[in-house]
Structure 1
Amino acid sequence: MFATLKNYPRSVNLLLCATLLLTLAKAITFPYLVIYLIDHFGLDITQVGLVIGSSLIVGSLLGVYGGFLVDRIHSYPLLLALSALFVLGFVGTVVAHHLWLFYGCLILINLAYAVIDIAIKAGFASLLPEDARSGVFSIKYTLTNIGYAVGPFLGAMVAKGDISLPFMLSALLGAGFFLLYWRWGDRTLTTADAAQKPVSFLAVGRVLLRDHRLVCFTVGGLLSAVVFGQFTAYLSQYLMTTSTAEYTYSVISAVLTTNAVLVIALQYVIGRRISHRYLSQWLIAGLGMFMLGVIGFALSTSVLWWVLAMAVFTVGEIIVVPAEYMFIDRIAPDPLRGMYYGAQNLTNLGAALGPVLCGLVLASLPAHAMFYMLAAFIVGGGVFYFIGASLKPRPLE
């Protein structure tokens, strides 16, 4: 992976740097949101879940318009503006004394992060040939997971001094990227087409809805994200329902470590082999691993079995995430790449819905019914992926 990074132009490495630094900034802070909201605003657990979950959903929905901006604005000023908003969001969380202001800052952070992510993926498409993109998408996902693996440990270290310090550290990391990109960012990089006539957001949205391949893959991604988007949340819910808090803690710690280690170790090795030519076969393999992993969760009776099931599940994640990127990259026309990636980000809604749906099942049905529901979402996601991959492209109107 490091040898590959050396061969990339500086613009690509700066975009990858954005992925690592900004993901690290989010990961440092977000594990402490629950504690912060309870301590500073006196919310109960239900209210905390509503604040955090809805801010993610609103950020994802607004991110679709952010994709429209990526197609209209040069990347250099856009990335600088978004990273500045990212920093302001974290500064705002520290100084906010009212819940509505804190909530607005969370939406700002999620929105800025989502649109930067879209701009990064669109930038890769502008800077690299098609056959090199699977490798860079895999490196990007590896760096994302490194950020989520390391971030909570850094947050725990600084939170010992004061619970607001993780938010300040996150703001500093965002500011560090802002200065880095301001100094060395590619001022000529753009994913916008100057020759393209101005088109309204709603008109572009109608074009996207007529691309049934995009619609099918977005729905398939949303259904799949219910399964892998926040697996620790629903596994914790299941274990707390069927066992003790001590056993839940030991299992979740083990599966989180397993997931992080395998993703960091294998993501680039496997991901760079995913090609446009065999995307359907890769997706079938990845969804099959998800299914085996979920079956393993349902049958697990010891920490070792949970770890083995998570190892299989993680291989599915390693395959499906870059394969989704590759499919959208393949079907997205150059003038609309930002909007296509923005539509793909709607799959985050599935990740937000996962714990909610699993909680409803656990509250009303036998605990193992949760795994039947997850299996149904895997099959549903696979059906939409298959339909999307089999459809022929339609010309843009």
Structure 2
Amino acid sequence: MLWLKWDLNLKIRLIGDSLFNMLFWMYFPFMALYFSEAFGKSVASMLMMVPPLVGMFAGLFGGFLADRLGRRPAMLLGSILQSVMFAIFALSPSRWLDYVAYIGVGFGGSIFTPASSAMVADVTPEKDRRMVFATFVTGRNIGAVFGPAIGSVFFIHHRTELLWTCTLVTFLYFLTIYWKIRETLPKSAEPANEKGNMGSLIIKQFRNYGLIFKDLPFAVYIIAGVMVTIAFMQLDMYLAVYVKEYVPAQPLFSFGSWSHSLDSTGIFGLMIGLNGLLFVLLAVPVTKVFEHWSDRNVFILSSVLFGLGMFLMGFTTNVWLLLVFVVIMTVGEVSRSPVTESFISKYAPADARGQYMGASNLQYSLGRFIAPATIFLSTWLPPLGVFGFIFFCTLASVALYVVLFRILPKPKPAE
């Protein structure tokens, strides 16, 4: 599906989402360090556990709003909340108020995301969804590659100016959504004018999500996603520990008497940089290669490649072999990303798509919450044992995906 043929909603949001994600990655990687300096490492580590939990509930709430009020109102609420919180962060005289604003930014983003994903599915033919989602993944990851490098200058030395820029961009995005984005909520969705107070709405929200999680195929899908997310998160967790503690400084290039060496920190930075760069370069081409593969086979291949690439790292400390394994892992990671949202958009009823998108994000929240367990395991298991546990998680996800597609209802004919 050519970009020029996209719905106007998609064109505006691709540009807006990509720009905002660039700004997001200019401050997000430095927040743990920022709060560690303000409150100390112990307090900061506990404080940083709160945003994923808040985001989990905000995502569920955002999905409910997207199906009840519409995609556009939920996106407007999320974007204006982010803009206000960035402004508070920029004006804040207190580190605690900084923390509240940081949580508020994440809360707004979590409300925005399910409605945004549901709108992509609403306006994109089913056959084109993988490529469209892959393009959005590429836009998001351009920010992940270049944002931290730019932020290392602006967040440290020009933090206030950066936060005001984020405020302005999110506010302009809010105005663009308000003026240019049309509503895409299906007519079959529940009308928003039912009587009831806020308490009854909250009860109804939990009742709706209770029904969703009683959906056996969807529950299996979430558990499989949690298992593979535990593995994905190790790029920023156990892999960093392994490289720092076990990978020695070594030459990357050498010609005669000249050589360029990297220490463990440099090697880890190179691995993460390669992962991010490949994500940007390969998202669309890899999706194109697997365009005619079934969702089942892509999910299975993704889990196997990522788990195998991670497991093989336990056998070597050679920088070039580690980079080869990063390539294997990244191909697995990239192939999965567009299919995840495409699968939910096909599986979820059109009038409950936002809630299913919000509930689907639980796999990432729960996976991120459990993932640090590998650091604990590393205190009494050798590296190969920890990498073996990570590989086991991906193989468990493979088994669950096999079960999922056996119990999945037969697809209805496409409209």
Q: TM-score, normalised by structure 1?
A: 0.90
Is the contact made by 2:311 and 2:390 (CA closer than 8 Å) also made in structure 1? no
After the TM superposition, which of the residue ranges 82-91 and 188-197 deviates more from structure 2? Answer: 188-197
The 1:276–1:222 alpha-carbon spacing in structure 2 relative to 1, beyond 3 Å, is farther
Question: Structure 1 residue aligned with 2:354, among 329, 332, 338?
Answer: 338
Give per-residue Cα distances to partners, 1:46-90, cap 9 Å, x unaligned. Answer: 322222232122212321121111101123333222111111222
Distance 2:286 2:5 in 1: 19
Is the contact made by 1:75 and 1:191 (CA closer than 8 Å) also made in structure 2? no
Q: Is residue 161 from structure 1 mapped to residue 157 from structure 2 by the alignment?
A: yes
- 2:282 matched to which residue of 1? 266
Q: C-alpha displacement at 1:350, in angstroms?
A: 4.1
- 1:292 matched to which residue of 2? 308
Question: Structure 2 residue aligned with 1:170, among 166, 169, 174?
Answer: 166
Give per-residue Cα distances to partners, 1:270-316, cap 9 Å, x unaligned. Answer: 22454586111111211121122112221232221111110000000
Is the contact made by 2:247 and 2:264 (CA closer than 8 Å) also made in structure 1? yes
After TM superposition, the structure 1 = structure 2 runs for residues 122-271 of structure 1, keeping only pairs within 5 Å, are 122-186=118-182, 188-191=183-186, 193-194=188-189, 200-229=204-233, 231-243=235-247, 247-271=263-287
Gaps of 5+ in 2: 195-200, 250-261
Distance 2:92 2:186 in 1: 36
Is the contact made by 2:59 and 2:113 (CA closer than 8 Å) also made in structure 1? no
Is the contact made by 2:246 and 2:317 (CA closer than 8 Å) also made in structure 1? no
Distance 1:292 1:195 in 2: 45
- What code does the residue aligned with 2:3 have? L
- Rg bigger for which structure? 2
Distance 1:230 1:24 in 2: 23
After the TM superposition, which of the residue ranges 361-370 and 260-269 deviates more from structure 2? Answer: 361-370
Distance 2:65 2:375 in 1: 36
Gaps of 5+ in 1: none
Is the contact made by 2:314 and 2:384 (CA closer than 8 Å) also made in structure 1? yes
After the TM superposition, which of the residue ranges 92-101 and 191-200 deviates more from structure 2? Answer: 191-200
Distance 1:172 1:196 in 2: 33
The 1:334–1:311 alpha-carbon spacing in structure 2 relative to 1, beyond 3 Å, is same
- What code does the residue aligned with 1:346 have? L
Question: Structure 1 residue aligned with 2:71, among 68, 71, 75?
Answer: 75
After TM superposition, the structure 1 = structure 2 runs for residues 8-157 of structure 1, keeping only pairs within 5 Å, are 8-39=6-37, 41=38, 43-157=39-153
Distance 1:69 1:337 in 2: 11
Distance 1:355 1:385 in 2: 20
Give per-residue Cα distances to partners, 1:308-353, cap 9 Å, x unaligned. Answer: 1100000000112222222212210011111111111012224423
SS of the residue corresponding to residue 103 of structure 1 reads helix
Distance 2:226 2:184 in 1: 31
Question: Structure 2 residue aligned with 1:310, among 326, 335, 344?
Answer: 326
- 1:327 matched to which residue of 2? 343
Distance 1:385 1:194 in 2: 29
Q: Give the CA RMSD over aligned residues.
A: 2.5
- What code does the residue aligned with 2:121 have? A
Distance 2:226 2:295 in 1: 18
Aligned length: 390
